[in-house]
Amino acid sequence: MGMKRIGVLTSGGDAPGMNAAVRAVVRTACEQGIEVLGIESGYRGLIENRMRELDIRSVSDIIHRGGTMLYSARCPEFKEEEGMQTAIANCKERGIDGIVVIGGDGSFRGARDLSLRGIPCIGIPGTIDNDIASSDYTIGYDTCLNTIMQMVDRVRDTVESHSRCVVVEVMGNRCGDLTLNSGIAVGATAIVIPEIRDDIEKHVIQRIRRTQKTDKKHFIVMVAEGIGGTEALARKIEKECKVETRAVILGHVQRGGSPTARDRVVASEMGYHAVQLLLQGIGNRVIVVRDDKIVDLDIYEALKMERSVNTELYKIAHEISI
Ligand code: ADP
Ligand code: F6P
C-alpha cells in the first residue's frame, strides 16, 4: 500500500534528542513526497485531534534543542478502548497511514495496540532512562549522563571544601544505568541501584568507613531514585560515620539541555530508518541499537525481552572507588 501521509509523536517523559528524531522523520518523509502531521502531546493529541502539518522548514533549528517541539504527555485514556477508538477515528479522518512513535516501553505498547488495529506504527526508543530491554541505547541517555556528571562535579567542589558527604539521588525510574555509569564518572565512593540489592545501608556505611581509615574526608554516594529513602540514608550516614551529610535530588534538571552529538546522531539515524519501514508498508516494529548497529524488531518480541544490569561494571566501580 502506498503511504501518503504519516504522523509523528513524542510520548512519555521527554528526552534530549527527541527533536533530532522528529526532524529526521519529517525530512526523510518529505524527501519521499510523503506528508507529515506532527501530533501534539503524544497520544493525548491523537485523541484530541491536535495535529499540524510539518514541512522541511518547520523542523529547522531544533536539532540542538532539548525537550520536544511536539510536546509530550502521559495519557491514561489511550489505554482504554474508548480512547483508542477515538484516536483511530481521528487518524482515519486525517488520512494518517502510519505513525512514528518516539518514547519508552509504555509508548511502544500503545504503538503495538494501534498497529494491531490497522494503523502501522514504528517505535523509536526515546527516554533518558536507558531502560528499554530490546535496545542497547535510548535517545537522551548520553546527554542525561553527561548532565549528571557535570552537576555532581559541582557538588563535589562544595562537598570537598566542607569535608562532607553527599547522597545524590539520580532519576532513572527503576533502572540503575544512569546511576551506575554516572557514579563511575564522578568517582563515587558508593553506588546503590535497584538491580543489585545488597544490605544497602551496611554496604554504603562499610564503604565510607573503610575509606575514612585511609584518610578520605569527603564522600559522594550515588543512589537511584528507584531505591527511595535518600534523606533517611543521609541521616544514617551522618550518624554512623560521623560526617556531616547532605542529600541532593537532581530531579528534572537531568532531563533538559542540548543533546550531545551521540544523541543527535542516533536520533537522526533512527528517524530515517523508521520512515524507510513505513514507506514499505511495514508497521509494528521498533528501531533499536544492538551491537552498535541500528536494526528493527517486532514490537511484541521487543516488549517480551528482559533487561540485565552490567554486574561487571558495578564490580569495577566499587573496586576502584577506595
Ligand atoms: P514511556 O513511553 O516513557 O514508557 P509511559 O509508560 O508513561 O511512558 O507511557 C506513555 C504513554 O503510552 C501512556 O501515557 C499511554 O498513553 C501509553 N501506554 C502506556 N502503556 C500502554 C498500554 N499498555 N497500552 C496502550 N497504551 C499504553
Ligand atoms: O522516564 C523518564 C523519567 O524522568 C524517569 O526517570 C522518572 O522516574 C520519571 O520520568 C519522572 O516522571 P515525571 O516527569 O512525570 O515526574
If asked whether residues 77 and 188 sit together in one domain, one would say no
Q: Sign (positive/negative) of CA torsion 122, 124, 125, 127?
A: negative
Q: Is 206 found in the same domain as 132?
A: no
Structurally, how many domains does the chain consist of?
Answer: 2
Query: Atom 3 of ligand 2 has which residue's CA nearest to it?
Result: 13
User: Are 34 and 71 members of one domain?
Assistant: yes
**How far is 66 from 21, CA to CA, in rounded Å?**
12
Distance from residue 3's CA to the centre of ligand 2 (Å): 34
What is the per-residue burial (b if ≥16 Cβ within 10 Å, else e) of 34-54? bbbbbbbbbbbbbbbeebeeb
Decide whether any atom of ligand 1 lies within 6 Å of the 103 Cβ. yes
pLDDT of residue 234: 97
Mean pLDDT, the chain, rounded, equals 97
111-157 pLDDT, tens digit per residue, is 999 999 999 999 999 999 999 999 999 999 999 999 999 999 999 99
Structural domain contains residue 220: yes
Distance 209 CA to ligand 1 centre (A): 43
Ligand nearest to the CA of 44: 1
Whether residues 125 and 115 share a domain: the answer is: yes
In a domain, 310, yes or no: no
Residue 168 lies in a domain: yes
Radius of gyration of the chain (CA): 22
Kindly state the average pLDDT of the residues 56-69: 98
- Residue 77: what pLDDT? 97
The pLDDT value recorded for residue 197 is: 84
Q: How does residue 70 score in pLDDT terms, banded at 50, 70 and 90?
A: very high
Mean pLDDT of all residues in 186-202: 91
CATH number at residue 213: 3.40.50.460
Both 133 and 15 in a single domain?
yes
Q: Residue 247: what are its φ and ψ, rounded to 5°?
A: -110, 135
pLDDT at position 199: 83
Query: If pLDDT is split at 50, 70 and 90, which confidence band does 322 have?
Result: confident
Does residue 1 have a pLDDT over 60?
A: no
Please give the average per-residue pLDDT across 242-253, as a whole number. Answer: 98
Q: Give yes or no for residue 241 having a pLDDT over 60.
A: yes
What is the enclosing helix (H) or strand (E) of 184? Answer: helix 177-185
> Are the beta carbons of 117 and 289 closer than 8 angstroms?
no
Instruction: Please state the rounded mean pLDDT for residues 43-61.
Output: 98
146 and 78 in a common domain: no
Q: Would the CB of 127 count as within 6 Å of ligand 2?
A: yes
Instruction: Round to whole Å and give the CA distance between 25 and 7.
Output: 9
Residues 10 and 124 both lie in one domain: yes
Ligand nearest to the CA of 105: 1
Assigned domain for 25 exists: yes
Q: Do 165 and 299 sit in the same domain of this protein?
A: no
As a whole number of angstroms, the distance between CA 79 and CA 100 comes to 18
pTM: 0.97
Distance separating alpha carbons of residues 228 and 311, to the nearest angstrom = 21
Residue 312 CA to ligand 2 center (angstroms) comes to 27
Query: 71 CA to middle of ligand 2, Å?
Result: 15
- Of the pLDDT bands very low, low, confident and very high (cuts 50, 70, 90), residue 200 is confident
At 44, list the grid cell: 493525548
Task: Spell out the SS3 assignment of 255-285.
Answer: HCCCCCHHHHHHHHHHHHHHHHHHHCCCCCE
**Catalytic residue ranges:** 129
Q: Decide whether any atom of ligand 1 lies within 6 Å of the 104 Cβ.
A: yes
pLDDT in tens, 263-291: 999 999 999 999 999 999 999 999 999 99
Give yes or no: residues 90 and 125 share one domain: yes
Q: What is the mean pLDDT of residues 154-163?
A: 98
CATH of the domain at 32: 3.40.50.450
User: Is pLDDT of 251 > 70?
Assistant: yes
**Domain, as residue range, for 243:** 141-255
